[in-house]
A and B are shown apart, each in its own frame.
Chain A
């Protein structure tokens, strides 16, 4: 929101600097994102009067001028190539050391000689001052800018052409659409500076309509999308240029002057925040305005010549037969004001902000009007905007205001009434703002306040343009932002109850879980919760794989981010590949995140969110490093995972296991399939594991279960076993453990093939640890252990064909 300092001064006697005002605005909730001094690039340029012109002795195109700058500077000789200079002309001239603009860049002026004749400065064009006709009439002519003959010599030219001014670029929060205009900001400035607000004039006189304008009708078909529509007919239009003061105001806000009638609508938009439109009444067929939803396929060409095909979501302003404006966004080319326009129908309306926003975005068409409507225009200002426009028509003398005034109002325009207790306001703030200060602040913001006899209860009428205020806490905010947040003294919950905080068991368990993985050498990664549906094919999942049953985002940022994750391995593989491409040859990552499992598709309720662990390891590691990490999790949480050979379409068929907890499969781990690795040009071994944390953690125990130490020492026996090549180690261990309760531990310490071991067999050496029960009265005898071993060997032979190696 751009607000010129000079314009604000029309409404408030500002007696502080622009910088001081910037701080004041900041303190009451309006951050100035940029404070621009318009004259920063034009320095040392003064008004001079040409007193003498001679031809240059050696150059046909040059003239040597004597320029008088008043007593202080005196007369300076300046050469120029421009041919529009004359004796007596008042011109801007840059003297030695001055800066002006040249092709948009700042240029420094120095004394010099032109073809041997001294030239101690440069007379300037409008372009060199960075201004156009809207700033100063004549600024766009080719040649030197000729200033008004009454301009005093010696004056800094910035003061003359409107460059001695600041523009505040203000961030207005979404709840304050009433401040999207100069007057709105002026109201705040007046309040924060404790100064009166000087309102602009809204008066005009209506003349009896005599022509066809008497027949004008307005019909609003969709009052939800257009709660208020005011139309007013103006006749005897004299299209022409706007006065210099208005053109400069528009220019300061970045709007080009077009014609008096169009400039009035733009001026009201900037000043009041009310978007206006003017139709050439004689182009409106049926002498009628209809506000309705567009028919599907209906077309309109807007003022900028762009054609749009509409649908019933778009609100249009129509005449008796066709759309003549895209409501709140832009007028139609078919009804625009031209130099021949004789009668005008002004529109000042309130349109529903979300509809304007959606239409604007859907069509990719926006304007200063739509920007304001999107944030909200109130129905009260609609009326005052029209009044201001009609006043300006009279002031500029460019038309006759008729008595054809049509107001279709379905909106509340009165300010809300409420009562509020000052004590309550103070109790929310936690400080004592004096009663008088509270009422003064509210009054300065144009709230009507009546203090009750009790000295505490206020009856308040909210200004009608303050749609954001709907309760006493809003009044508290008004008070404190004007009283100053610096007055809030920090306290530490003086009245609150003491509460016991901290993590619950589940949250603590998650922290410990991550720590276990970290201590196994894995680093935590984080990925987006959505991925590409292409992952399903890349991972070779069959058509009926449960992973494919995934939630689609209706409005994704792109296909690659369009589906909620049903498994984490694709993101992890992405991470691994990215790391390898960046030359990170080794690494171990883990991620704990939700997968989203829909109960049914299309979704009827929120999908189940299941916390899942994914591991990725590559480079200097193997299957057993990853397996070890999972086993470490088991050790930390008192559960024992089992591993069983398994198949996954994206994993190496020989190096893949599923992870079991009891009978339940809770995950998988394995090496990345060789074909997939080749496809991704991955040359190092990659291991992936995934694990249903939600299910597994239900079996986790965090509590320490202390067991007394056995009184008698454990006995160890080493066994060398001869097994068929295809007998898994896990089965041998399970058989051993199952065969004898006294076995406390089985450790494989050697696997040997070849030599005396027959082909197709392997020799496996284990250390078995036998422990007497804690309650045992005596140590395990060698004979007892021999008995255990016999039983173990018997079971091994019977179950697995495994024999002791002699």
Chain B
């Protein structure tokens, strides 16, 4: 074997590797080259003994060289193949994504859940009373006198006898106090019904009632708790203002205004220039109410508050017509996320 032969084989291997266009071809080419190399090596036996080491060294070097050659070629082929796939598999990333469309929860449910979250953190449980009630639970036990206008047919839906559709979630107060001894911290959300149907009234809407009964509860606590609520529900600097009002089941009764969270109290369209927004009714639980439920009003005091969920939703989301909540237009419903 001479240098020419070596050179030929090297050239052959180099050509074969370069010609191979795929892994498979490269493997075939390599097998061919290896066969030739093997043939060359088998010729070593015919060489004189003293030439064999030098020959062996040369062939081994060639073998290593060929292997490196094929290895390099294989890497190159792999790279090309990958590039080809990359090119072939490229997508138009601006095509629309494919998603599973989620639905949405009703804004009244969202607001209800937010309120529950806030008050649950302050230790409130949730109680949902029946939507059909008796006059006793809806009025009498709540200290509403028999000749009070709210008991009229014009203001309450009656179902026959002393049964009615509850006009306020306050009816739940009685059921809670009858069944649970203080300390009581309960929220009662739910549907309520009143025979009003015009631009700003819906014959059905939602209220959330809150009730706290325990030893030593004061009007200051009422203000403190509602301040904490307002800060979480609206903005952290929302201020609370109490002013006198009247509800049969609280004494003293207060209307609770919050500083306008749009203008911060400077006066805007939402607050009609007053800087304050009327948000809820509240007061210290009237002694007659726990008395009616077998709770000693000399031992326990408490406060109650109630708010309209639609009203809160309207304030929070800027919805200006209460009727939207019951239209169930999907374009409306699917806008609410939080």
* A-facing residues in B106-131 (Cβ within 8 Å): 106, 108-109, 113, 116, 119-126, 128, 130-131
Contact check, B103 vs A603: say whether CB atoms are below 8 A apart: no
Q: Does B60 contact A (CB under 8 A)?
A: no
| A-side contacts of B254, CB under 8 Å | 485
| B-side contacts of A474, CB under 8 Å | 251-252
Contact check, B246 vs A522: say whether CB atoms are below 8 A apart: no
Q: A526-B325, A554-B159, A606-B132 are in contact. Are A500 and B123 (CB under 8 A)?
A: yes
Query: Nearest residue in B to A176 (C-beta to C-beta)?
Result: B246
Contact check, B220 vs A353: say whether CB atoms are below 8 A apart: no
How far is A99 from B218 in the complex, measured between Cα atoms in Å? 55
Contact check, A427 vs B218: say whether CB atoms are below 8 A apart: yes
User: Which of B159, B223, B331, B333: most chain A Cβ within 10 A?
Assistant: B159
Contact check, B221 vs A494: say whether CB atoms are below 8 A apart: yes
| A-side contacts of B160, CB under 8 Å | 552, 554, 602-603
Interface size on A, residues (CB 8 A): 91
| B-side contacts of A176, CB under 8 Å | 246
Q: Does B161 contact A (CB under 8 A)?
A: yes
The stretch that binds A, out of B10-18, B71-79, B83-91, B150-158, is: B150-158
Contact check, A429 vs B218: say whether CB atoms are below 8 A apart: yes
| B-side contacts of A28, CB under 8 Å | 244
| B-side contacts of A493, CB under 8 Å | 212, 214, 217, 221, 224-225
Q: Tell me the smallest distance from the CB of A587 to a CB of chain B, in Å.
A: 4
Q: Mark A251-278, 1 if CB is under 8 A from B, else 0.
A: 0000000000000000000000000000
The stretch that binds B, out of A575-583, A709-717, A743-751, is: A575-583
Contact check, A553 vs B158: say whether CB atoms are below 8 A apart: yes
Q: Does A379 contact B (CB under 8 A)?
A: no
Q: Tell me the smallest distance from the CB of B234 to a CB of chain A, in Å.
A: 16
Contact check, B225 vs A492: say whether CB atoms are below 8 A apart: yes
Contact check, B334 vs A523: say whether CB atoms are below 8 A apart: yes
Q: Does B277 contact A (CB under 8 A)?
A: no
How far is A430 from B251 in the complex, measured between Cα atoms in Å? 14
Q: Does A607 contact B (CB under 8 A)?
A: yes
How far is A430 from B252 in the complex, measured between Cα atoms in Å? 13
How far is A476 from B219 in the complex, measured between Cα atoms in Å? 10
Q: Does B167 contact A (CB under 8 A)?
A: no
Contact check, A553 vs B159: say whether CB atoms are below 8 A apart: yes
| B-side contacts of A471, CB under 8 Å | 251, 287
Q: Tell me the smallest distance from the CB of A485 to a CB of chain B, in Å.
A: 4
Q: A29-B243, A471-B251 are in contact. Are A495 and B217 (CB under 8 A)?
A: yes
Q: Does B241 contact A (CB under 8 A)?
A: yes
The stretch that binds A, out of B23-31, B33-41, B62-70, B191-199, is: B191-199
Contact check, B163 vs A606: say whether CB atoms are below 8 A apart: yes
Contact check, B121 vs A429: say whether CB atoms are below 8 A apart: no
Q: Tell me the smallest distance from the CB of A491 to a CB of chain B, in Å.
A: 4
Contact check, B215 vs A554: say whether CB atoms are below 8 A apart: no
Q: Does B32 contact A (CB under 8 A)?
A: no
Query: Nearest residue in A to B129 (C-beta to C-beta)?
Result: A609
Contact check, A495 vs B195: say whether CB atoms are below 8 A apart: no
* B-facing residues in A456-502 (Cβ within 8 Å): 471, 473-474, 476-477, 480-481, 485-486, 488-502
User: Which of B218, B224, B228: most chain A Cβ within 10 A?
Assistant: B218
Contact check, A551 vs B159: say whether CB atoms are below 8 A apart: yes
Q: Does A194 contact B (CB under 8 A)?
A: no
Q: Tell me the smallest distance from the CB of A28 to a CB of chain B, in Å.
A: 6
Contact check, B219 vs A480: say whether CB atoms are below 8 A apart: yes
Q: Does A431 contact B (CB under 8 A)?
A: yes
| B-side contacts of A587, CB under 8 Å | 330
How far is A764 from B149 in the complex, measured between Cα atoms in Å? 69
The stretch that binds B, out of A231-239, A283-291, A510-518, is: A510-518
How far is A471 from B132 in the complex, measured between Cα atoms in Å? 32
* A-facing residues in B312-338 (Cβ within 8 Å): 325-331, 333-334
Query: Nearest residue in B to A173 (C-beta to C-beta)?
Result: B246
Query: Nearest residue in B to A471 (C-beta to C-beta)?
Result: B287
How far is A578 from B228 in the complex, measured between Cα atoms in Å? 41
User: Which of B113, B158, B220, B329: most chain A Cβ within 10 A?
Assistant: B220
The stretch that binds B, out of A334-342, A555-563, A789-797, is: A555-563
Contact check, B243 vs A26: say whether CB atoms are below 8 A apart: yes
Q: Does B203 contact A (CB under 8 A)?
A: yes
A429, A496, A518, A524: the one contacting B212 at CB < 8 Å is A496
Q: A480-B252, A557-B203 are in contact. Are A502 and B120 (CB under 8 A)?
A: yes
Q: Does B92 contact A (CB under 8 A)?
A: no
The stretch that binds B, out of A7-15, A589-597, A688-696, is: A589-597
8 shortest A-B CB distances, which residue pairs?
A430-B218, A29-B244, A430-B220, A495-B216, A477-B252, A490-B224, A354-B147, A525-B328
Interface residues in chain A, defined as those with a beta carbon under 8 Å from any beta carbon in chain B: 26-29, 31, 173-176, 352-354, 357-358, 361, 374, 427-431, 471, 473-474, 476-477, 480-481, 485-486, 488-504, 507, 511, 514, 517-530, 551-557, 561, 564, 575, 578-579, 582, 584, 587-590, 594, 596, 602-607, 609
Q: A173-B245, A430-B221, A489-B223 are in contact. List 14 more A-B contacts (CB 8 A).
A: A173-B246, A354-B146, A473-B286, A477-B252, A477-B253, A494-B216, A517-B103, A518-B103, A524-B105, A525-B106, A530-B203, A561-B197, A589-B330, A606-B130
